[in-house]
Structure 1
């Protein structure tokens, strides 16, 4: 019976939700979880890149925490004319790499960037941001591994490997892709034996 269960919560506003629902809960101030700090931390995309984006030819967004910062820095070193904005709690010493731990406006960031970087070793997983970026008509930088080759087979105009020529700003691949093509590709991946 759930009526005999007391929920342990780390944020007062979550406890309020349970109280209004008539569910027993106990608020415990967690030393690592601070909702006030978490709510203040995310920057809006435009505020994050506003001051420096005009110094670069294009803006690349790396929304996946699965991508090591070193991979982004290697791409940034190869292409100093691109501003790389990546999801990382670490800090980069490169002048063309901005790191941020969380993107509140993830969809806006995908829409505003010139290309998306997801160069990670997928070990039995796929990249949701890669499919979302392609659905938005963005070019995507991938590693030349099984997932990267798979994406190149399906979305050749949108999939790039490190070192390939990046599209000029405004020269995004054709946006004629439909979500059903993306869904079919995802279904093939998850239904493989």
Structure 2
């Protein structure tokens, strides 16, 4: 039974994607009908097109579900042990502390998109999703995220190169990025990535 499967594999308030429930032995229309029945019984809630969740009841009996950022993270960045993307642009620049700008549109680089860059609306939020230069895996995600930011560093940098170097050095140490990791992927990026990489003297930071 579909509901039993959902209860076994998903937590309350966790995004459930229609595409993840599809099977060869059931048509899309039949699956839609089953999901609608569960929603009618209030065993399941619909968050957005193709996105559902098991309602979580609070102590005040209101229902809690996922938010737009959580749905975007599950769809484009990570779900379970899978890593398919990372935050880019001002979103990541703000996270590591080289800019104070807070983006209105969160930028994501993800395997889970088509070849063209696109804006995606989830709930009441907008996300800008781009295809990666190199396929993202859990082994290379941190080095690719760093190289992606270096590609257009001046567009995001609010501080000096010296301060930026310190922030990148912290990131490199936390995620144990090695020179061999950079050497493996940097040639897939434009010359601007090389330029900023050497101007920040990151080669001296790497092991």
The question of a shared fold, defined as TM-score above 0.5 by the shorter chain, is answered with no
TM-score by length of 2: 0.28
Bigger share in helix:
2
